Amino acid sequence: MPRWEKFKSPLIVFAALLFFSPPFSWRASWAAASGAPISGYEERRRATAALMEAATVWVVTEDDDSIGNGSGFLVADGIVMTNAHVVKDLGKGGKVYVLNERLPLREATIVKIVHDKTEDEEVGGRDFALLRFTTPKSAKLPTLSFNFDVKRMDRVSAWGYPVMVTKFDKSTRGLREGDSGGLVSAPVVYTEGTVSTIVTDRLGSAIIHTAAIAGGNSGGPLVNGRGEVVGINTWGYKEDDEGAFLNMSIPANDIVAFLRENGVEPQFAPGQIYVARTRPAAPPSSSASGARKPGREPEDRIRDAGSFTVKVPTGWSVLDEEENMVLLGADDDSAAVGVLVAENGDMSLDEVAAAYAEEFDASEPVFEDDVYTFRFEDDGVENFVVLGGGEDEGTHVMIFISGDGGSPGVEEVLNSVEDK
């Protein structure tokens, strides 16, 4: 097995699968009515608008004599993501419809609803629903990608169908009178703002932003300037005494977890890797009954990556965990280490190393002590990758490190990777 302990410094991202963005697939060209050319910036904004107009849907519910509405967005062919509270109160005979300016009225079925119970002054918790409909052959509808990189001061926009705006459009006249027959879509509404902060409670996180939302926006996407989903607009909070109003969205990370739990494989924006959020396991108390003997590693601090085991250092969390991959991170966000076991296919290990290095625009792989290493730079951060062969000649083991390679715990993780 490779002597991982040699590599005690710089190392970076398991998020190392950062690629340069391909050309924007929904780019379009427009000219002003005067025939004057428009700027590249304006063209990109219009391309994003065209994407959002096609991928944001109006969700209309009908139950006895009651009609309600919200928003949603396409996450796969014929699959709409929305909020649970938009559809969860429908009776047995209730119906759900989806439509937009490209999608004619379609009846949808509710695939899954999850709505966590929250207490007063809690912002976290899932409020998700999946809807399925049959896509018309004539409709060309895009699905939105997810981007997990969202920080305060980022520019964001909300897309949806707030009643306070759509009620002025003639398309909603019948709906306002309690008749959904022959319904055509209202125009989707765009508002823009910035991320104020991200708050967290016992149930999860919420993005606080200034892109205005109102009743009817629930379930619509919050996106960045490229139309990549960073959150789902879920609710607003008004402080009457202060005259203040907050717009809140559930982050993309939690949406993706819900989609995957329900068999939907979402699209990610270029360079994005899904990182599941988990709370770090509490270390066992030495005073507790049945405490482990000194020097014995608790089982919940060991993780499997394929045919290898990886130790979770004290003060680190398991960020993501799948069958052949484990991603660990320091709780102070100073470093992350990922261990990935994958099949070589018909390629030799040196061919695999060359292919990865080319993909990352990295330095030439160097072979020493049974492992390949290479470096690449992204946004000024030096990345380091170690690639070695597994016990099975048809597999390889890749270790990525992000952040501070000298952070406490990095060396411990590297030295702990071994065959079962």
Note the pLDDT tens digit of each residue in 193-222: 999 999 987 778 899 999 999 999 999 999
Alpha carbon of 145 to those of 51, 82, 153, 248, 272: distances in Å? 11, 15, 21, 20, 10
Average pLDDT over residues 302-329: 78
pTM: 0.60
Highest average pLDDT, of 22-31, 248-257, 382-391, comes from: 248-257
Q: Give the 3-state secondary structure percentages of the chain, helix then strand then coil, rounded to 5.
A: 15, 35, 45
Q: Report how far residue 126's alpha carbon sits from residue 258's, in angstroms, rounded to the nearest whole number.
A: 9
Among residues of the chain, what percentage have pLDDT more than 70? 75
pLDDT at 23: 36
The two structure tokens encoding residue 343: 């099949």
Q: Report how far residue 309's alpha carbon sits from residue 420's, in angstroms, rounded to the nearest whole number.
A: 6
Alpha helices in 221-309 (DSSP H): 252-261
Beta-bridged to residue 67, according to DSSP, are 62
pLDDT: which is higher, 309 or 408: 309
Mean pLDDT of the chain: 79
pLDDT at 21: 33
> Of the ranges 60-74, 152-166, 222-236, which one carries the lowest mean pLDDT score?
60-74
Q: Report how far residue 250's alpha carbon sits from residue 255's, in angstroms, rounded to the nearest whole number.
A: 8
Q: Report how far residue 35's alpha carbon sits from residue 38's, in angstroms, rounded to the nearest whole number.
A: 9
Average pLDDT over residues 221-247: 86
Question: Which of 3.40.390, 3.30.960, 3.40.1000, 3.40.50 would CATH assign to domain 4-17+301-419?
Answer: 3.40.1000
Buried b (16+ CB within 10 A) or exposed e, 176-204: eeeeeeebebbebbbbebebeebeeeebb
Segment 342-369, tens digit of pLDDT:
777 778 888 888 888 887 788 888 887 7
- Which of the four pLDDT bands, split at 50, 70 and 90, describes residue 300? low
Q: Report how far residue 147's alpha carbon sits from residue 155's, in angstroms, rounded to the nearest whole number.
A: 13
Q: Do 4-17+301-419 and 40-267 show the same overall fold?
A: no
Q: How many CB atoms lie within 10 A of CB 295?
A: 5
Residue boundaries of the structural domains of the chain:
4-17+301-419, 40-267
Dihedral angle sign, alpha carbons of residues 118, 123, 125, 128: positive
pLDDT at 36: 56
pLDDT at 381: 67
Fold of 40-267: Thrombin, subunit H (2.40.10)
